[in-house]
Structure 1
Amino acid sequence: MLYLVTNRHIANKDFFNIIEESIKGGIDKIILREKDLCTTKLLELSIEVKKITDKYNIPLIINSNLKVAQEINAYGFHCGYEDFISNKYKYDGVIGVSIHSIDEAIICEKKGANYVLAGHIFETNCKKGLPPKGLNFINELKKTISIPIIGIGGINETNINMILNTKISGVAVMSHIMASMNPYIDTKILKNHIQLIFGGDNHEQF
């Protein structure tokens, strides 16, 4: 599975065009992560994005705002670890959580998360000054939890095979596609790597 995590602030092209071109290139799911928007503005944006994702039958996951996720009947709701353990979220769909340690992953699984977004795996400008978790982090997670693990952080065409070889459930990218001048091509290249390793099996079950 190949996820796109959005960030309109780093977009080099029209935001909606990037989303549509990335879907055409092979994105499987989209996490709409525009945390600076108020509920009203995020709802407006989500409605427009969902028109695109529905057109291509691509699941849309809303980050951080449960009300918006419920309002548009999104496929899923995603949040950070602290937010997840502080609230007893109930959602009629998939719930994902961003985690940065093995202990966090264990707790999320026990509390009912459907998947974890684990990172950052490689060096990335989004986390300047913070050392990456590396591939051992993924390997340890796989030994510890049974829910799907999605890797994020600095993933591109030069290192994607390294993380795919851990047999991870999926990978997520932000800047590699959001800041791309050709999101279709850059997405297609990543998707080709996934298909070469996993074949027709997208490897994620939920």
Structure 2
Amino acid sequence: MLKEIHLISDGRLNPEQLAGLAAAVHDMVDYIHLREKAMSARELLAAAEQLLQAGIPPSKLVINDRIDVALAAGAAGVQLAWHSLPPAGARGIAPGLRLGRSVHSPEEAAQAGRQGADFCLYGHVFPTACKPGQRERGLEQLAAAVRSSSIPLIAIGGITPGNAGAVLSKGAAGIAVMSGICGAPDPAAAAEAYRASVQAAASAMS
């Protein structure tokens, strides 16, 4: 039973640093999300092109929010936020893109599937510095979201190699990691630890 690892950029690295990090870890992750909210479309496209030039396969590249940039870069997919176009609208513009939808409840997870998303990103599961002051949703709410979703659900938020197995045991199709890799002293070693944890959990469930 394959389980995915999604690496999400954290907005703290410049494009050169991000390309170097991505090149070092991409063999150990399944998708790399370019999530750089401060960048203009032109800057985002340039950053995507740097990732591709660093050897990241287009099939692994996901652009956050910007369908136009995803299409221009030849990326595999786009991650739609709450303020983005709904999946049905995005599908009409870009029928070939893999569409992810960010969700925060079982109801939103169910809706994402009905609207035509290919997968949803659900969180945050555990406390995380990325969402200070916001209460985590926990493993039981994660399990409820998985039950509600007709599409693969990827869990995000405070996930570590130590708790990834518990997340996957609730039915998540994979995990998404931001600071756990991007902020690690040794990103490649961190990615290896996540991959080992995910593979062990998948093997235990098969």
Q: Which runs of 5+ in 2 are unaligned?
A: none
Other-structure match for 1:49: 51
Other-structure match for 2:35: 33
- For the pair 1:23 / 2:26, whether they are aligned, the reply is yes
Q: 1:147 aligns with which of 145, 151, 163?
A: 151
Partner Cα separation in structure 1 for residue 86 and residue 77 of structure 2 = 17
Per-residue deviation at 1:87?
A: 7.6
Partner Cα separation in structure 1 for residue 134 and residue 76 of structure 2 = 32
Report how many residues are paired: 198
Other-structure match for 1:135: 139
Larger relative contact order (CA 8 Å, sep ≥ 6): 1
Other-structure match for 1:181: 185
Q: Which runs of 5+ in 1 are unaligned?
A: none
**Residue aligned with 1:88, SS:** helix
The structure 1 segments of at least 4 consecutive aligned residues displaced by more than 3 Å after TM superposition are: 84-87
**Residue aligned with 1:9, SS:** coil
Partner Cα separation in structure 2 for residue 86 and residue 190 of structure 1 = 29
Q: 1:5 aligns with which of 8, 27, 33?
A: 8
* 1:167 to 1:103, Cα distance in 2 relative to 1, 3 A: closer
Percentage of pairs with the same residue: 26
- For the pair 1:62 / 2:63, whether they are aligned, the reply is yes
Partner Cα separation in structure 2 for residue 27 and residue 108 of structure 1 = 24
**Is the 1:8–1:15 contact (alpha carbons within 8 Å) kept by the matching residues of 2?**
no
- For the pair 1:162 / 2:166, whether they are aligned, the reply is yes
Per-residue deviation at 1:200?
A: 11
**Is the 2:80–2:87 contact (alpha carbons within 8 Å) kept by the matching residues of 1?**
no
Look up the equivalent residue of 1:29 and give its one-letter code. Y
TM-score between both structures, scaled by the size of structure 2: 0.89
Look up the equivalent residue of 1:31 and give its one-letter code. H
- For the pair 1:77 / 2:63, whether they are aligned, the reply is no
Q: How does 1:78-157 map to 2 (within 5 A)?
A: 78-85=79-86, 88-90=89-91, 91=94, 92-157=96-161
Look up the equivalent residue of 1:22 and give its one-letter code. V
Q: Deviations over 1:101-126 (max 9, x none)?
A: 11211221111011000000000000
Per-residue deviation at 1:93?
A: 1.6
